[in-house]
Copies of this chain bind each other. A is one copy, B any other.
C-alpha cells in the first residue's frame, strides 16, 4: 500500500495511524482476555469454555446450532468443550420442542462461573469508560461495530 498514502487526505487516515490501530487491537484484545484466562486456568478450562458459558448465560435455552453460528467453530471443536462443561455440570442440556434440538442452560454453578468471569471484564471496561465522556464511548462502540463483517454485524444485532 505504498500508494494508499497518496490518496489519503486527513492525517488520521494515513498508513502510520492505521498501523497504530492494528497494534491497539492486538494489545487491547490480549489484555481484555487475560483476566478471565487466569481464572479459567485454575479450573483447567480455556477461553473456549468461557465463550460457551458467556453466550449460554446471555441467552438461556440456546441451541447447539445457534451457538455454533455465533462462535463460528466446527461442531467437533464445540463438542469437546461442551461435553466437559456438561460433565462438570456447568451447563444443563434439555430437549427442545423440536425434539432434534437441544437447549443449553447454565446451572447454578455455571451461572456463578459466568458472573465471576464476566465481572472481571465488566469491571475492567467500567474502569476504562468511566473516565470518558459519552462522545468518546460512542465513537469507540460505533467504530468497533463497523470493524465487524457485515454478516456478523447482523448476528450481533440479532442477539442484542
Contact = CB atoms under 8 A, between A and B. Distances in A.
Interface of A: 1, 4, 8, 10, 12-13, 15, 18-32, 34, 51, 54, 58, 72, 115, 118-119, 121-126, 128-132, 134-149, 152, 155-156, 159-160
B4 A148 contact: no
Q: State the majority secondary structure of interface residues on A.
A: helix
B138 A136 contact: yes
A122 B31 contact: no
A4 B122 CA distance: 10
A107 to B, nearest CB: 18
A145 B137 CA distance: 12
A130 B13 contact: yes
Nearest to A131: B146
Contacts of A160: 20, 23
B146 A32 contact: no
A43 to B, nearest CB: 20
